[in-house]
């Protein structure tokens, strides 16, 4: 179980930081989804792990990486459209659904 927590707490924020840095995002909604999912994964790893067996500084590293990704997203934000021009309605529905699911899960974990 502790390896899942390390992957969630440290791996996903690294992935989010890489996606923002490499400009792999389609639009601003992708950016929001990545950041909300990062918060969700940090909270999930915090709740499912017995931190007596895993060093708690790993969670803090994940938190710092997600904070860096959030700060770095300010650099990518102006260059992204709100919705990708191709099929904006479908994209908006997909993004809204993902954000609602993530917000519900965060609310359940907090």
Please choose, from the candidates 54, 41, 32, 53, the residue with its C-alpha nearest in 3D space to the C-alpha of residue 14. 41
The per-residue DSSP string of the chain comes to -HHHHHIIIIIHHHHHHHHHHTT--SSHHHHHHHHHHHHHHHHHHHHHS-TTTS-THHHHHHHHHHHHHHHHHHHHGGGS-SS-SSSHHHHHHHHHHHHHHHHHHHHHH-
Domains held by the chain: number: 1
| C-beta atoms surrounding 65 within 10 Å | 21
Give pLDDT tens digits along the chain (110 positions): 567 767 777 888 888 888 888 888 888 888 888 888 888 888 877 777 776 777 778 878 888 999 998 998 888 888 888 877 777 788 778 778 877 887 787 677 66
Given a contact cutoff of 8 angstroms between Cβ atoms, the answer to whether 34 and 12 are in contact is: no
Structural domain range at position 71: 2-109
């Amino acid at each position: 179980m502790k390896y899942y927590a390390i992957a969630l707490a440290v791996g996903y924020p690294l992935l989010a930081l890489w996606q923002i840095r490499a400009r792999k995002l389609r639009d601003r909604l992708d950016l929001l989804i990545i950041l909300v999912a990062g918060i969700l994964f940090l909270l999930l790893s915090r709740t499912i792990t017995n931190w007596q067996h895993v060093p708690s500084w790993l969670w803090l590293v994940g938190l710092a990486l997600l904070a860096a990704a959030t700060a770095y997203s300010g650099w990518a934000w102006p260059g992204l459209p709100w919705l990708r021009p191709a099929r904006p309605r479908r994209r908006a529905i997909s993004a809204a659904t993902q954000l609602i699911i993530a917000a519900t899960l965060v609310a359940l974990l907090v």
